[in-house]
Structure 1
């Protein structure tokens, strides 16, 4: 079993680290999915972020919520309802989206299909790529036999015309991209095979009458254990859990103590791991809500105990299996935000909020929903009124042993809810389990695609053609030197780069081998090194100097702005190619190529001042003293964007900027006629804009 376990984990790691395949990592409760995620973050060199559907799940996974990262509304999102172009993201977040390699979604069973499609829309929009999820690799972690997504009837009315199911696998984007499924099988939480068999039968909805009868032998009428035994009640409804805890606390004769949390920065209330004002008494039954990260490992998330003493700083908790009470002091939870390190250009986890509180909560009872991910030695299960798929399984699987489990009511067979759609999905998962051969093929295809991308100049070709089209449409407004200079660039690009690259891509195909990875193919590596040296020389010695020296002045400011922006986009593409070819002169290695490509995109500094401002997803522009109206408006726009934590085009779009320069309005009434201005905007910033026009126009 150990060998099989290691093989499954290693297979999952290799698919995530060395391929671009999307991965659905599943497994029964207690099989180590969360541990896998924790280890993965230490192993991968890919740029990743972790998200989860709820605040508590996100804090536990060390990530952020889906809705906060992607700024999605909480209601239903029918296809086409989300308009990504209207979402206002900071420059930092756009940079994060554009350089992301891997998106990890934990507790995927609770994510709705339309939410996954909302993520797809945002990533495609800001990565400027049409592939599902903008080409980002997905790692989806969860067990579909556990808690389902919450779908209100009104939301499903809106979604039903588009989706067969609200579960994540109903996502229209996900259906367009293949993924592999890997199911972890070894259970760490339980060791009793008899109990494991019952749990597996419930999970797979094939429990026999004899198994159900054996389970229901754990029903004990009027069971009321003393608190020192450490039983916790798991119930289906929040109200029931609250009533049990309140009544138990009130019955204790000892005085109440209110422990107040320290909350700093941004930490939303729905993500609080315990009460901000925690009312406790000596004699109260409590549960730890955090793992002890110290060397002693004295407690874990879900451990039950009883308070024996307390003062202003320390709560003493006696757990049934410990020889003496544990001294519990306040611990810290962090709310993180993903950002870009300006020095290394790596994705970093930046703490934006801090919650400090004793890692305890009242625990005579909690809801089954809140128990997901926890482990208990002793539990009273009140699940006869289970109303959602997976509730009975989640509740029972929290327990380590059958002997430590007591039923408040017998479990009726109808409460073990089955869904035909999930049964079909589980069968499909079994057919998608990959083997080592598929892993090898996926690695090979991933490396081959990266090489084809490396030697593709399609984007540069598109931008070159775009510039030529603008030049052709506005010849009268351009200096003659501009047209001749850019035509020289276009001719050189066509002869020495585009044509050569197309021919080399055809040659690459002949070097691709069914029996060797590109990284391990010496003949292919030799060709890559020689081609990289050639393209590096042409780009660095000829193309970039020619592009930078091309005149960019026009008698029409609007045309000049459009050309500046397009030429600097072209400069960015060439800069990225140059950096990638430089790194490939010594040989091609997939992860190194990805890293260099992202670093180049982040490090690029456009040659023109306006382009610096337009590259809002890169490091902030350094705009000096304005010399023209254009410079003044660009500088003002940048300052406004920085002040209000938004992107420059959200303040003034490129078209609005160009129209202001062409029209030069002199009054609020004339300013209202400019596209992008309304009465509110004129009232807020009109005088500033008009003042700049008077000074520099």
Structure 2
């Protein structure tokens, strides 16, 4: 199990695990941001998903793309329009979003502000919560001095009326929620302090003339390295990188071998880690694009080598300054989607596609964009024509040492692009750095908010009233017993739950002691334990049994379905509360509470059968066992006759009329005329048939 050893990393981990604060984790290239992401996935008990702006970034982070999870349309997202444009979400994905504790977004520097607002809108819609991002905690990982979001001029024309900037921190939702910033400072990639200082100066746009002169001493005119030295060229444009690779490969007089990738399931082309048709030759310079998962760790993502031999199922690669030749076989990449485990209801990473290929790609050249996250021993930097903010810094920071770096052309000062808005953002970030005191305060506030939520029955009250409003709007299509049961439920709920919790919510702040976590407050814990026992018993033994006696049948299918959906919501809310209070029988613990709350959401299945049984019970009360059988027989006859005449069942006999027939059991046509719903015409048409059914059950 990996451990958090860096103080800043430990602080970030504690904020993620023990608070609900949003965290922006930043740091220079090589400070371990990606490593921290993978540690969090293993260490935290919160329900989380990982997303990234591109397919390759998502595959590397072990997550999915933002657009696939949140089903956002491509192109500019106008605030407020996302829900109208997005596709329908399936039930499993809705469950994942509703029970999410933590959303990790990697490479946040490349995420547009409007995309972050699109995420916010989806989360609020499915979580039924008005706070930003539906109350989900965010972990935003990235370095704003690296590659920026891609925003075309046409897209910005649409977005400019709504946003001051296209960077993620321009998000309207993010501006409504405070977040803390933690900057990782320890650099693991470079150990040369002189080179680190130059990189920091370029990153922070404060590079001095002497530093730039020292850097440009690495410009070597007409530099042509020996093929065995393992230099890779980093260029600003994809065309130049491809052209160099093709030229170098063509110049080799060895036999060409093409390796076809095996692709299963869903694996989009833009997420391919290397070419599906990989052409290689002995003598070709290649780069590993995956870490060696064996105990020996013989290669890593970005390691350069030269092919020495190729056979049917193995490629042999020799790396500079290493004596052993590596035997490279095919490896597998997974494209995942998040799903729910049917047994444990945990969020799991379910493979939906596989890409099987040799973990290599031609590496005489690569674009700076695709080099983000990689480490090179030796590199030729062609960044004089850098066109985007952060390109020069990304290119230079891929190298481990200044001596391993060669410039294709001197770097002019104007290519180290700066943006005033990023400088202002960086200053703001420095003001949001937390300390241990803020961590403890955030822990305390998080626990207090969860306790307030525990004792809030506002949504339950809203759903009871929603069911009653539905009855009042459609009283003619529903049994009057619906109103009777719901009114009894509301009275019981008001007297034994609502009024008590409102009073306790007023007292609750007095239990919150300064500088003391609720989990450590003995008096509060004792009160919560008693409340847990009281409400758990009340919901289990009184509220739910009464709730299940409410009939739901109706001749109007639309009204019946609307009532069932509203009662499903109310039942789920009661079940969630029951699970939450059950978790407090031994005291309040934040993570246990979250687990219980989310677990109830996941395992809930509406117990419609219990509610449907009320129909039979009602018939038995009015006519005994024969009444129940008679009700069923009359209903079946009614439905069969309606089917033969292609009409609705209630047009033949309304449900209320059938209930009265089962109760009174008339034996003559005159008695039949006294039943509400029967007139002379209906008696003439179907009276004898109805009486025959009744006589058969008398």
**What's the offset of the Cα at 1:476?**
3.7
Which residue in the other structure is 2:192 paired with? Answer: 192
Note the alpha carbon deviations across 1:238-259, whole angstroms, 9 max, x for none.
Answer: 0000110000000011010011
Which residue in the other structure is 1:223 paired with? Answer: 223
Superposed, which structure 2 residues align to 1:145-544 within 5 Å? Answer: 145-544=145-544
Q: Larger deviation: 195-204 or 548-557? A: 548-557
State whether residues 552 and 611 of structure 2, in contact with CA within 8 Å, keep that contact through their aligned partners in structure 1. no
Partner secondary structure for residue 424 of structure 1: helix
Q: Larger deviation: 452-461 or 85-94? A: 85-94
Distance 2:559 2:239 in 1: 65
Distance 2:154 2:313 in 1: 47
Note the alpha carbon deviations across 1:274-299, whole angstroms, 9 max, x for none.
Answer: 11111000000000000001100000
**What's the offset of the Cα at 1:660?**
9.4
**What's the offset of the Cα at 1:592?**
0.8
Structure 1 unmatched runs, 5+? 613-626, 633-658, 665-697
Q: What is the TM-score normalised by the length of structure 1?
A: 0.87
State whether residues 84 and 121 of structure 1, in contact with CA within 8 Å, keep that contact through their aligned partners in structure 2. no
Distance 1:202 1:166 in 2: 23
**What's the offset of the Cα at 1:125?**
1.0
Q: Larger deviation: 164-173 or 86-95? A: 86-95
**What's the offset of the Cα at 1:53?**
0.5
Q: Larger deviation: 512-521 or 243-252? A: 512-521
Distance 1:393 1:550 in 2: 67
Distance 1:480 1:91 in 2: 33
Note the alpha carbon deviations across 1:547-605, whole angstroms, 9 max, x for none.
Answer: 00122234544333322221221111101101111111111111111111111111112
**What's the offset of the Cα at 1:611?**
10
**What's the offset of the Cα at 1:430?**
0.4
Which residue in the other structure is 2:21 paired with? Answer: 21
Distance 1:399 1:569 in 2: 56
Partner secondary structure for residue 334 of structure 2: strand
Distance 1:63 1:546 in 2: 45
State whether residues 564 and 610 of structure 1, in contact with CA within 8 Å, keep that contact through their aligned partners in structure 2. no
Distance 1:562 1:404 in 2: 69
Partner secondary structure for residue 485 of structure 1: helix
Which residue in the other structure is 1:42 paired with? Answer: 42
Which residue in the other structure is 1:675 paired with? Answer: none
Partner secondary structure for residue 93 of structure 2: helix
State whether residues 132 and 177 of structure 1, in contact with CA within 8 Å, keep that contact through their aligned partners in structure 2. yes
Measured at CA, do residues 315 and 660 of structure 1 come closer, stay the same or move farther in structure 2, by a change above 3 Å?
farther
Which residue in the other structure is 1:652 paired with? Answer: none
Q: Larger deviation: 562-571 or 408-417? A: 562-571
State whether residues 471 and 483 of structure 2, in contact with CA within 8 Å, keep that contact through their aligned partners in structure 1. yes
CA root-mean-square deviation? 2.1
Measured at CA, do residues 628 and 451 of structure 1 come closer, stay the same or move farther in structure 2, by a change above 3 Å?
farther
Partner secondary structure for residue 297 of structure 1: coil
State whether residues 580 and 596 of structure 2, in contact with CA within 8 Å, keep that contact through their aligned partners in structure 1. yes
State whether residues 71 and 86 of structure 2, in contact with CA within 8 Å, keep that contact through their aligned partners in structure 1. no
State whether residues 548 and 611 of structure 2, in contact with CA within 8 Å, keep that contact through their aligned partners in structure 1. no
Which residue in the other structure is 1:622 paired with? Answer: none
Partner secondary structure for residue 295 of structure 2: coil
Distance 2:248 2:215 in 1: 28
Distance 2:354 2:316 in 1: 24
Distance 1:281 1:591 in 2: 55
State whether residues 260 and 357 of structure 1, in contact with CA within 8 Å, keep that contact through their aligned partners in structure 2. yes
Measured at CA, do residues 311 and 661 of structure 1 come closer, stay the same or move farther in structure 2, by a change above 3 Å?
farther
Which residue in the other structure is 2:608 paired with? Answer: 608
Partner secondary structure for residue 488 of structure 1: helix
**What's the offset of the Cα at 1:4?**
12
State whether residues 557 and 662 of structure 1, in contact with CA within 8 Å, keep that contact through their aligned partners in structure 2. no
Partner secondary structure for residue 528 of structure 1: helix
Measured at CA, do residues 410 and 4 of structure 1 come closer, stay the same or move farther in structure 2, by a change above 3 Å?
farther
Distance 2:4 2:298 in 1: 31
Measured at CA, do residues 51 and 660 of structure 1 come closer, stay the same or move farther in structure 2, by a change above 3 Å?
farther
Partner secondary structure for residue 82 of structure 2: coil
State whether residues 548 and 610 of structure 2, in contact with CA within 8 Å, keep that contact through their aligned partners in structure 1. no
Q: Larger deviation: 517-526 or 600-609? A: 600-609
Distance 1:602 1:569 in 2: 13
**What's the offset of the Cα at 1:148?**
0.2
Distance 2:35 2:101 in 1: 21
Which residue in the other structure is 2:142 paired with? Answer: 142
Which residue in the other structure is 2:696 paired with? Answer: none
Measured at CA, do residues 610 and 125 of structure 1 come closer, stay the same or move farther in structure 2, by a change above 3 Å?
farther
Distance 1:193 1:143 in 2: 20
- Name which one, 1 or 2, has greater alpha-carbon Rg: 2
State whether residues 274 and 361 of structure 1, in contact with CA within 8 Å, keep that contact through their aligned partners in structure 2. yes
Distance 1:162 1:344 in 2: 43
Partner secondary structure for residue 94 of structure 2: helix
Distance 2:151 2:611 in 1: 45
Structure 2 unmatched runs, 5+? 613-634, 641-646, 653-698
**What's the offset of the Cα at 1:539?**
0.9
State whether residues 5 and 185 of structure 1, in contact with CA within 8 Å, keep that contact through their aligned partners in structure 2. no
Note the alpha carbon deviations across 1:643-685, whole angstroms, 9 max, x for none.
Answer: xxxxxxxxxxxxxxxx999999xxxxxxxxxxxxxxxxxxxxx
Partner secondary structure for residue 6 of structure 2: helix
Q: Larger deviation: 309-318 or 204-213? A: 309-318
**What's the offset of the Cα at 1:509?**
1.1
Partner secondary structure for residue 80 of structure 1: coil
Which residue in the other structure is 1:671 paired with? Answer: none
Q: Larger deviation: 98-107 or 88-97? A: 88-97
What is the aligned residue count? 621
